[in-house]
Amino acid sequence: MMNQEDIRLVQSSVPILEAHAEDLTRLFYKNMLGAHPELKNIFNLANQALGQQQKSLALSVLAYAKHIEHPEVLLPALELIGHKHRSLQVLPEQYPIVGEHLLGALQELLDLPDDAPILGAWGRAYQQLADILIDMEAKMYAAAEEPDAAWSGWRKFKLLKKEELAPNVYHFYLAPADGGQIPLHRPGQYVSLRLFFKELGFHQARQYSLNSRPNSDYYRITVKAQKAAAGCPMGRLSNALHQSLQAGDEVELTVPAGNFHLEQSPRPSVFLGAGVGVSPLWGLLQALIESKTEQPILWMDAYRSAQEQLFAEELASLKTELQQIHFYEDQNGQMQLEKALAAPFGLAANYYLCGPAGFMEAQRKQLREAGIPDAQIHLEEFNPVQLQLS
């Protein structure tokens, strides 16, 4: 149990963490993955190379230190992290490994003796956080196994078909390899998908949104192959799906997860998406239309060009059900929110955002500056959680 002196010591470390948090987490991942290479089956190596995983953990540690007296403030962000952990099959016995190497990195970075009081304080603080997440994730594991046709762990699925949606973007239809059924997913949820890479010697897993109508036969995901670019490595798994996976081939999935969903309040709805980030929004939009809502709906998407637009034919058939604005950088520039912030939307609406991190950060900033409460701004982050910790 933490005491007041522990809390004081953790709070006193905030300036140090603000100055060295990413150095700390970089050292932590280096040491932990070196000692436990089997954990590479869980961690996204591309995010490691880009520093995204390190930054996310740094933000988490810093936020926790700042709110150490009232960690419940962080519950929305911790719930999102918990869903990702459950989807990736993170287990309680892995938490002590993380704690050992996080404290070891702190000791090494600050050159502390073994009996330094701040190490003891942070050890108890970490255990408090681990207990919160372990308890939260235990409930998620139990809930995930409750629906009919649910399963635990990783389950083999075969590819029924893949179809091109836009240049470099494909739909993948996946059904259980055992011929069984699947639980109905909730619109907005995602699955973790993994493949084994012989050249690496371990699995790599990614999360992909489900955007088909809920059914008990198959799941549909939409994948863009991430090409190598300056400062950005090639997406190993997305390119393997595009280039190598053929009908009948198998992948492994976990039960659908995630807390990105339609709010129940009878408000107007605004969807703001960019690129393949419109995938989870499409699932929400279908569900909203099928609910026969009488509230107005606005769909706004952004692409580099019209050739990259996703769900173009489906959206063209929905012109009477919702308002639509499409932005193409080579034609009418980047997304502008004047329509979204005017009546009948504005302060009355719920806003659903998904796309590249920079896009979501820019749109959230505009919404906040317009006075939209955070409770009405709903994000789906597929990179390690950062925006919802800031």
Question: DSSP character for 374?
Answer: G
Exposure letters 201-230 (e unless 16+ CB within 10 A, then b): ebebbbbbbbbbebeeebbbbbbbbbeeee
Identify the bridge partners of residue 350 per DSSP, sorted by sequence position.
269
Question: DSSP character for 66?
Answer: H
CA 5 remoteness from chain centre: 35
How far apart CA 32 and CA 24 sit, in angstroms, is 12
The answer to whether 93 is a known catalytic residue is no
Given phi > 0 = left and psi -120 to 50 = alpha, else beta, which region is 83? alpha
Q: How many Cβ atoms from other residues are within 10 Å of residue 300's Cβ?
A: 22
Of the candidates 64, 95, 208, 219, the residue annotated as catalytic is: 95
Q: Are 338 and 270 in contact (CB under 8 A)?
A: no
CA angle 120, 20, 12 (to 5 degrees): 45
Quote the longest CA-to-CA distance of the chain.
68
Of the candidates 29, 137, 308, 381, the residue annotated as catalytic is: 137
Query: Rounded to the nearest 5°, which phi and psi values hold at 231?
Result: 75, 5
Q: Where are the beta strands (DSSP E) in the chain?
A: 155-166, 169-176, 190-197, 202-209, 219-224, 250-253, 269-274, 297-303, 323-328, 350-354, 377-379
Q: DSSP per residue over 79-104, as a string?
A: HHHHHHHHHTT--GGGHHHHHHHHHH
Q: Give the strand pairing for 350-354 and 297-303.
A: unpaired
CA 346 remoteness from chain centre: 26
Q: Are 151 and 168 in contact (CB under 8 A)?
A: no
The answer to whether 137 is a known catalytic residue is yes
Residues catalogued as catalytic: 95, 137
